[in-house]
């Protein structure tokens, strides 16, 4: 392999692209290093592509003290070089890069031993080494540029709302979602987060009715309670009517049941979620609750871990072509408020918000003293919206008995 590289270095263009520190002599064995020096000298003097015969002649002429045995050995090496097929520039560059990285790795390892043994007490040698060679560790890549044909772009944009929301006031502002979207939903406890995703998935004209394959991963409530909400949302029957009309309830729910899968994911993390998406290829993924999937190990602050968790969720959405709904709690700052904002996401600064394509924060009216009935009006604050650009509040009603949001 080193002889093939030597052959490639005789090409002027390839040599100029890899001269100096990018191709040190110590990449090669001792005998081949001397040939590399001859190539360096020829390139500096003649500034053109040279042949193996020319380098051999220069080498012999500039080393008159070689013994007969040494001349014979080098004639054998040059004979091998002449028989080498010239590698393609891209392959030669890749091979040279890998050899170079191995050499620098040895230097770093030797510095590591020096630090362990106490013979070096400053990081400056390591810092200098990294700064000097960091560019040579940047991988090269062949990019297939994206198709920017106008018809292709219009066709892709027409799919942005493949799965439509079934809440009319919301649909007028954000028609729907599609593969690759991360949608973050936040609310205070007892506001209706679980009912919200049950409604948009299983409620009338919800995602499951549209044919979307939905996976619901729950780690807060028992999965059976979540499933129960989906059944009531799908059938528009409260718990009592479901019990009294089980056959009818299952007949209705059975129409979308194949499109919805549930799994308790307590004590799981986002890597496990990724494995689920890779295996089952869903269209819609519900993470209830998203924050509880965060791995806190290795992070000095909770908000850093939550940001990394949201980044992972977004990457899952894009890589596995699904829309991920990330359910989250809001902080106490959101209590009894109708107008909500991104800063009210619990445990996070701007990390989670930065990753969302769409962020909906659900609010309810402040309690009224001596009120006989619960106020079921809900306010959907659209506080981040890359999908349609509209920001503001839309209003709807929650029927807590059937877990349906409606207008």
The better pLDDT of the pair 242, 98 is held by 242
Query: In terms of domains, do 158 and 101 share one?
Result: no
CA distance 103 to 80: 24
Residue 251 belongs to some domain of the structure? yes
Q: At what angle do helices 30-46 and 68-83 cross, to 10 degrees?
A: 70
pLDDT tens digits along 125-134 = 777 777 666 6
Based on the domain organization, do 54 and 162 belong to the same domain?
no
Token pair for 92: 């030669």
Q: What is the pLDDT of residues 10-62, one digit of tens each?
A: 888 888 877 655 666 667 778 888 888 888 888 888 888 889 888 888 888 88
CA–CA gap between residue 282 and residue 75 (Å, rounded): 65
Q: Are 176 and 305 within one domain?
A: yes
Q: How many domains does the chain have?
A: 2
What average pLDDT is seen over the chain? 87
For residue 300, how many C-alpha atoms fall within 13 Å in the half-sphere facing its CB?
0
Residue 136: per-residue pLDDT: 55
Domain membership of residue 311 (yes or no) is: yes
From CA 343, how far away is CA 147, in angstroms rounded? Answer: 37
Range of the domain at 106: 2-136
Higher per-residue pLDDT: 148 or 256: 256
Q: Are residues 105 and 173 in the same domain?
A: no
286 and 190 within one domain: yes
Q: Is the pTM of this model over 0.75?
A: no
Which CATH number do you get for residue 215?
3.40.50.300
Of the candidates 177, 29, 48, the one whose C-alpha atom is nearest the C-alpha of residue 103 is 29
Average pLDDT of the segment spanning 198-215? 96
Are the C-beta atoms of 201 and 208 separated by less than 8 Å?
yes
Q: What is the CATH number of the domain that holds 25?
A: 1.10.860
- Higher pLDDT residue, 160 or 152? 152
Pairing type for strands 260-264 and 404-406 reads unpaired
- 107 lies in the same domain as 206: no
Residue 135 has pLDDT above 60, yes or no: no
Q: Is 393 left (phi over 0), alpha (psi -120 to 50) or beta?
A: beta
Report the C-alpha gap between 54 and 33 in whole angstroms: 17
């Amino acid at each position: 392999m080193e002889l093939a590289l030597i052959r490639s270095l005789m090409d002027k263009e390839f040599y100029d692209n890899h001269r100096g520190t990018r191709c040190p002599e110590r990449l090669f064995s001792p005998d081949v290093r001397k040939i590399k020096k001859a190539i360096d000298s020829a390139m500096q003097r003649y500034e053109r592509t040279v042949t193996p015969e020319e380098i051999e002649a220069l080498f012999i002429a500039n080393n008159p003290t070689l013994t007969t045995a040494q001349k014979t050995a080098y004639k054998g090496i040059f004979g091998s070089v002449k028989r080498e097929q010239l590698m393609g520039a891209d392959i030669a560059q890749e091979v040279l890069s890998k050899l170079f990285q191995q050499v620098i790795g040895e230097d770093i390892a030797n510095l590591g031993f020096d630090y362990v043994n106490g013979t070096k007490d400053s990081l400056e040698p390591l810092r200098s080494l990294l700064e000097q060679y960091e560019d040579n560790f940047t991988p090269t890549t062949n990019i297939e540029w994206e198709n920017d044909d106008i018809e292709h772009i219009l066709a892709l944009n027409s799919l942005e709302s493949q799965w439509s929301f079934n809440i009319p006031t919301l649909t007028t502002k954000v028609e729907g979602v599609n593969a690759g979207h991360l949608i973050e939903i936040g609310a205070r406890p007892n506001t209706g987060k679980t009912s919200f995703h049950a409604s948009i998935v299983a409620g009338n004209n919800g995602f499951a009715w549209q044919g979307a394959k939905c996976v619901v991963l729950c780690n807060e409530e028992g999965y059976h309670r979540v499933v129960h909400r989906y059944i009531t949302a799908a059938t528009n029957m409260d718990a009592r009517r479901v019990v009294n009309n089980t056959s009818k309830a299952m007949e209705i729910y059975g129409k979308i049941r194949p499109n919805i899968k549930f799994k308790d994911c307590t004590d799981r993390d986002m890597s496990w979620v990724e494995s689920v998406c890779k295996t089952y290829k869903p269209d819609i993924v519900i993470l209830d609750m998203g924050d509880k999937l965060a791995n806190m190990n290795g992070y000095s602050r909770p908000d850093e871990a939550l940001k990394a968790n949201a980044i992972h969720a977004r990457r899952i959405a894009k890589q596995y072509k699904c829309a991920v709904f990330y359910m989250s709690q809001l902080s106490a700052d959101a209590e009894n408020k109708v107008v909500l904002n991104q800063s009210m996401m619990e445990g996070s600064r701007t990390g989670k918000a930065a990753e969302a394509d769409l962020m909906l924060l659900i609010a309810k009216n402040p309690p009224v003293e001596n009120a006989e009935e619960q106020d079921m009006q809900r306010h959907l604050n659209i506080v981040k919206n890359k999908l349609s650009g509209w920001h503001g509040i839309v209003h709807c009603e929650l029927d807590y008995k059937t877990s349906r949001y409606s207008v």
